């Protein structure tokens, strides 16, 4: 079951990485009042979510090794 949990984290991370890239493209496209600020805030939130997923998947991986 732990492998399945790890797959969930990996899938979620992949989705967030794609979203992060799209937000970065929006920022790179040039300044648009309101839209750029929103994209930057969203970019930060998405990066924080990626960091949380990375941390959680590391904990899961460590727990798996402790069980072995």
pLDDT digits (tens, 9 = 90+) for 12-63: 999 999 999 999 999 999 999 999 999 999 999 999 999 999 999 999 988 8
Q: What is the pLDDT of residue 8?
A: 96
10 has pLDDT over 70: yes
Q: What is the pLDDT of residue 66?
A: 84
Vertex 48, ends 46 and 37: CA angle to 5°? 50
Number of domains in the chain: 1
Give the structural domain span for 33: 2-67
pTM value is 0.88
Name every residue whose Cβ is closer than 8 Å to that of residue 9 and which is 6 or more positions away in sequence. 53, 56, 57, 60
Q: What is the pLDDT of residue 2?
A: 58
Looking at the chain, list the stretches that DSSP marks H as alpha helix, in order from N- to C-terminal side: 2-28, 35-67
3-state secondary structure of 17: helix
User: Under a CB-based contact definition with an 8 Å cutoff, are residues 1 and 31 in contact?
Assistant: no
């Amino acid at each position: 079951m732990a492998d399945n949990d790890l797959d969930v984290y990996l899938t979620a991370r992949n989705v967030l990485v794609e979203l992060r890239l799209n937000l970065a493209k929006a920022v790179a496209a040039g300044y648009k009042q309101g839209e750029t600020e929103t994209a930057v805030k969203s970019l930060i939130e998405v990066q924080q979510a990626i960091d949380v997923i990375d941390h959680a998947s590391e904990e899961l991986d460590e727990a798996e090794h402790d069980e072995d």
